[in-house]
Amino acid sequence: MVASVGQMNQSPVAVITGGTGSVGFCLIPMLIDRGFSVGATYLLPDDATRLEQRMELGEDKLIIRRVDASNAEAVSIFFDEVAGSFGPINVMASLVGGWSGGRDVAETSDVRLDRMLDLNLKTAWNATRAAIPLMSEEWGRIILMGSKHSQEAPAGQAAYNMAKAGVLALSRSVATELLDTNTTCNTLLPSVINTEATRSALPYADYVNWPQPEDIAEVINFLASEKSKVINGGGVPVWGSALI
């Protein structure tokens, strides 16, 4: 792995796909407080506005772009822009994803299957593939968003389970490929994260013990550091005491 942008003394650089989502919204201020320059993608303009208003930073520190993370070319262009502006990437966190349940395998349409693979697996693939050539030679951390359900595989959501299992396999493959570098790759395995969207989708669920977005962000913040160098190729459980 050789970064295509010059190595230099600089602040660390992070790229967060899905950076305006619930976890990214908590994570980015943590990284900024640690001195990172950050590039983040969004899909909904209101979410980007909310992040911009919270951070109140110029593009010398925070670059926010609307990017379809399932579009490989768009992702690659964005990563090149961030690396061209800030320098080699130290941290890449792929936080784009979504859940679609309520269908057994025999009842799952091709449209639903493709949606789950595109939203959860292809987005992680695109971000990881774009990041690897731009990672810093000094130290790098690739962090993907998997799911507890990739291991337990509950009924009625096989497409989602399968997509998230693919994310974990991707992470482990990348970790092996990059063993001779200073870049690690790991996948988080949350249960259902306690957000307004998930509570609305599952109105009768007991969400008291679901992990909070800031709890997940804290774990990513640690993984996004030189101190986490011994964690590589892992599926990191971040579901606390949640049962689903």
* pLDDT for residue 4: 46
Which pairing describes strands 62-66 and 140-145: parallel, antiparallel, or unpaired? unpaired
Per-residue pLDDT at 9: 44
CA pair distance 193, 149, nearest whole angstrom: 12
- Helices (H), ranges, 179-237: 196-201, 213-223
pLDDT at 149: 79
SS3 label, residue 25: helix
Interval 14-45: pLDDT, tens: 999 999 999 999 999 999 999 999 999 999 99
Q: Which residue has the higher pLDDT, 227 or 152?
A: 227
What's the predicted TM-score (pTM) here? 0.91
Residue type, 101: G
- In the prediction, which pLDDT does 1 show? 46
For residue 195, the model assigns a pLDDT of 72
Q: Are 74 and 2 in contact (CB under 8 A)?
A: no
| Burial profile 10-41: b = 16 or more Cβ within 10 angstroms, e = fewer | eebbbbbbbbbbbbbbbbbebbbeeebbbbbb
Tokens of 169: 């396999």
What are the residue boundaries of the structural domains of the chain, listed by start? 13-237
Over residues 175-193, the pLDDT tens digits come to 999 999 999 999 999 987 7
Q: pLDDT digit string (tens) for 126-143? A: 999 999 999 999 999 999
At residue 31, the 3 state secondary structure works out as helix
CATH topology of domain 13-237: Rossmann fold (3.40.50)
Average pLDDT over all residues of the chain: 90
- 185 phi/psi in degrees, rounded to 5: -140, 125
pLDDT of residue 207: 67
Percent of the chain whose predicted confidence (pLDDT) is above 70: 90
Kind and range of the H or E run holding 32: helix 22-33
